[in-house]
Chains A and B, each alone.
Chain A
Amino acid sequence: MPQATGVTTGTTGQGKPPGRAGWLLLTPLIVWAVAFVVAPALIMLVYSFASRGALGDVVYDFTLENYKGVGDPVYLQIVIKSALYAALTTVICLLAGYPVAYLIGRADERWRNLLLMAVMVPFWTSFLIRTYAWLTILKSEGLLNSLLIQLRLIAEPLEMLYTPGAVVLGLVYTFLPFMILPIYTSVEKLEGALIEAALDLGAGPLRAFSRVIVPLTSPGIAAGVLLVFVPALGIYAVNDILGGGRVDMIGNIIENQFKSARNWPFGAALGTTLLMSFAAIYFYVNRRQRAAIVK
């Protein structure tokens, strides 16, 4: 399928290295990446081998204790739970986001921009404010309960706020656009003729979808899955606000080490481990992606 490979090489930008002008244009990006990505990661790496002083200061002696602590069942159970929450969020986002992205991608130009706008508009408001707004909707004397009682669908207010369900709702709400946008980009590039060809050659709609449309939009799906799963694993504000602090995720544990527990080295070890896992997931997804295309 030459078209398919054409799409991917176009997006991953394989080719000759940038010339002098290219490097010049890249400088801001490189400076930014070194200052805000590489340097902090290195500081974390150094901290993660240090130990905690009496006042919670960082004492620079080489130790592996922090990494031993990461493997402790107490923290492992939370890592597993966070991964489950993040995976559930990703699946729901994919199921809900794919049809939306497909519709937007196949809509005619006038509608497309309007629909895209609708996906982006929530970003105009601060993420925290949007999350607090859910509090007003879900609380027991809140908008949703009042509405349902008014409509006589329920007699007693439902318990919605401060539940695991509220956390998943908040996570899906937060990350859905990150699933829709990359899939949309793939769908937009999709050649209509290929689908018609599949249908002409005897594939039913289901088969055309699973054998043609999904493989051709898989770069978008992969990007969407990464963009949702990775941040959902590390987030801590949504579960604090909508989960009432009951659902501790790995992000909360790390936050706690830097704040109330004052154990920066341990927090750094947890953070470094998480970063390494993200890198591993990224390479895994990327390799599968390539393998799928070669096939």
Chain B
Amino acid sequence: MSRFASLVLAALVGFAVPAAAEELSLFAWSEYIPQSVLDGFTKETGIEINYETYASNEEMLAKLVSGAASYDLIQPSEYTVEALVKANRLVKLDHAKLPNLKNIGKEYWGQPHDPKLEYSIPYMQGTVGIVINTEKVKEPVTGYNDFFQPKYKGRLVILDDALEIVTWALSSIGLDANSVTKENLEKVRPVIAKWLPLVKVYDSDSPKTALLNGDVDLGMVWSGEAAILIQEAPKKFRYVLPKEGAHMFIDNLAIPKGAENVPAAHKFMDYIMRPTVSVEISKEFPYTNPNVEARKLLTPAERANEASYPPGNPKLETFRDIGPIAADVDKLITDLKAKSGA
């Protein structure tokens, strides 16, 4: 047989017999799972990982709901877990296959989105708080009303996220962050209208960039971004949780209905809850690790990072699924942004 013919034959066989290797298709946040963790899983189990990424819960939902592709594992935040559970779109987990679930801290049980962790396991947890460049800002900034002040005009970076901005405004006037109703949107409208003209940059992907480049001095950002800034310049940057109450998010792993390889999805969940694996994730993405055994493996400096592990007992609240009013939230911020100049 000529070499060419054997090549063609090999190619045909390759197509006819779908890859002998078992596959797990993972749909997760970009920049959130270290490559070493994925490689380690494949090496140990022989299961190949198909890794696709997204940049927001909403983008993931849109793709999942459209049915364009099927996934074995997704990585939704708590309010998206709640929406998916409501819509009966998640597979119930088999806790017998997740012995490492015992490593998850007790504060992650009893959360409103999935109190018994029946449908999801926590992957990483974080907060949204204030980063201060202490070389430029000398006075204390402790809450939303301190942060959005006329004297800081043109020196602020905030997340480009309509719901986040609305919840800050709700907290700042003493309302519950989750009380997103039509009446309350009207109440926060004048507050946000005053805030937005002060903002220099809106960035959800990498808000640390503007702070590092010196284009802004204060930021309302994800704690993981703040933790990286503090790692790079511990004396220069500080992280403070707003005293009026801060948004806490829990990113989870869950199995959507229609998953083709549910056993492999369980294996992956249990694998990343192993303390030695979980700590690898923390090293690369310094959010708050819900795995208390993994936390013990961190260096003292990593544990002392106030963005990853805020001291004291701050007032924290998770988002709830707000349903169709999301469209009004989006429209309010679109309108105020357009009116804020530029």
Query: Of residues A53, A77, A78, A244, which shows the largest number of chain B Cβ atoms within 10 Å of its Cβ?
Result: A244
A56-B62 contact given A140-B215, A162-B200, A259-B56, CB 8 Å threshold: yes
The answer on a CB contact under 8 Å between A141 and B342 is no
A57-B66 contact given A52-B327, A256-B330, CB 8 Å threshold: yes
Per the bound structure, the CA–CA distance linking A238 and B19 in Å amounts to 42
Confirm or deny: A263 has a beta carbon within 8 angstroms of a beta carbon on chain B: yes
- Ordered by A's residue number, 27 sampled pairs between the chains whose C-beta atoms are within 8 Å are A52-B327, A53-B65, A54-B87, A54-B323, A54-B324, A55-B83, A56-B58, A56-B62, A57-B65, A75-B334, A77-B338, A78-B334, A81-B338, A141-B214, A142-B213, A162-B200, A244-B201, A244-B202, A244-B210, A245-B160, A246-B199, A246-B202, A256-B330, A258-B62, A261-B326, A263-B330, A266-B327
Confirm or deny: A112 has a beta carbon within 8 angstroms of a beta carbon on chain B: no
- B319 CB to nearest A CB, Å: 13
Per the bound structure, the CA–CA distance linking A162 and B157 in Å amounts to 11
- A16 CB to nearest B CB, Å: 44
Per the bound structure, the CA–CA distance linking A220 and B26 in Å amounts to 50
A140-B334 contact given A55-B65, A55-B83, A262-B62, CB 8 Å threshold: no
Interface size of B by CB at 8 A reads 39
Other-chain contact of B338, A78, A245, A266 (Cβ < 8 Å): A78
Confirm or deny: A139 has a beta carbon within 8 angstroms of a beta carbon on chain B: yes
Confirm or deny: B107 has a beta carbon within 8 angstroms of a beta carbon on chain A: no
Confirm or deny: A232 has a beta carbon within 8 angstroms of a beta carbon on chain B: no
**Which residues of A89-148 have CB atoms within 8 Å of chain B's CB atoms?**
139-142
- B124 CB to nearest A CB, Å: 21
Within 8 Å CB of B116, what residues of A?
A: none
Within 8 Å CB of A53, what residues of B?
A: 65
Confirm or deny: A264 has a beta carbon within 8 angstroms of a beta carbon on chain B: yes
- A293 CB to nearest B CB, Å: 41
Confirm or deny: A247 has a beta carbon within 8 angstroms of a beta carbon on chain B: yes
Within 8 Å CB of B326, what residues of A?
A: 261-262
**Which residues of B306-330 have CB atoms within 8 Å of chain A's CB atoms?**
323-324, 326-327, 330
Within 8 Å CB of A246, what residues of B?
A: 199-202, 337, 340, 342
Other-chain contact of A261, B87, B199, B213, B327 (Cβ < 8 Å): B327
**Which residues of A42-57 have CB atoms within 8 Å of chain B's CB atoms?**
52-57
The answer on a CB contact under 8 Å between B65 and A159 is no
Confirm or deny: B91 has a beta carbon within 8 angstroms of a beta carbon on chain A: no
The answer on a CB contact under 8 Å between A262 and B58 is yes
A74-B335 contact given A56-B65, A246-B199, CB 8 Å threshold: yes
Per the bound structure, the CA–CA distance linking A243 and B340 in Å amounts to 13
A162-B62 contact given A77-B338, A81-B338, CB 8 Å threshold: no
Within 8 Å CB of B200, what residues of A?
A: 162, 244, 246
The answer on a CB contact under 8 Å between A260 and B56 is yes
Interface size of A by CB at 8 A reads 38
**1/0 contact trace for A242-253 toward B, CB 8 Å?**
011111100001
A260-B61 contact given A54-B324, A74-B335, A246-B201, CB 8 Å threshold: no
Query: Of residues A52, A159, A260, which shows the largest number of chain B Cβ atoms within 10 Å of its Cβ?
Result: A260
Within 8 Å CB of A259, what residues of B?
A: 55-56, 58-59, 62
Confirm or deny: A215 has a beta carbon within 8 angstroms of a beta carbon on chain B: no
Within 8 Å CB of B280, what residues of A?
A: none
Q: Which 5 A-B pairs have the closest CB atoms?
A: A245-B202, A244-B201, A261-B330, A57-B65, A74-B335
Per the bound structure, the CA–CA distance linking A142 and B83 in Å amounts to 44
Confirm or deny: A161 has a beta carbon within 8 angstroms of a beta carbon on chain B: yes
Per the bound structure, the CA–CA distance linking A247 and B89 in Å amounts to 37
Confirm or deny: B203 has a beta carbon within 8 angstroms of a beta carbon on chain A: yes
The answer on a CB contact under 8 Å between A248 and B327 is no
Nearest chain A residue, comparing its CB with the CB of B80: A55
**Which residues of B176-215 have CB atoms within 8 Å of chain A's CB atoms?**
199-203, 210, 213-215
- A171 CB to nearest B CB, Å: 14
Nearest chain B residue, comparing its CB with the CB of A78: B338
Nearest chain A residue, comparing its CB with the CB of B201: A244
- A133 CB to nearest B CB, Å: 14
A139-B62 contact given A256-B334, A260-B161, A261-B326, CB 8 Å threshold: no
Within 8 Å CB of B327, what residues of A?
A: 52, 261, 263, 266
- A57 CB to nearest B CB, Å: 4
The answer on a CB contact under 8 Å between B323 and A264 is no
Nearest chain A residue, comparing its CB with the CB of B337: A248
Within 8 Å CB of A164, what residues of B?
A: 342
Per the bound structure, the CA–CA distance linking A14 and B84 in Å amounts to 57
The answer on a CB contact under 8 Å between B338 and A55 is no
Confirm or deny: B98 has a beta carbon within 8 angstroms of a beta carbon on chain A: no
Within 8 Å CB of A262, what residues of B?
A: 58, 61-62, 326
Within 8 Å CB of A243, what residues of B?
A: 342
- B85 CB to nearest A CB, Å: 12
The answer on a CB contact under 8 Å between A139 and B215 is yes
Confirm or deny: B275 has a beta carbon within 8 angstroms of a beta carbon on chain A: no
Confirm or deny: B162 has a beta carbon within 8 angstroms of a beta carbon on chain A: yes
**Which residues of B105-160 have CB atoms within 8 Å of chain A's CB atoms?**
154, 157, 160
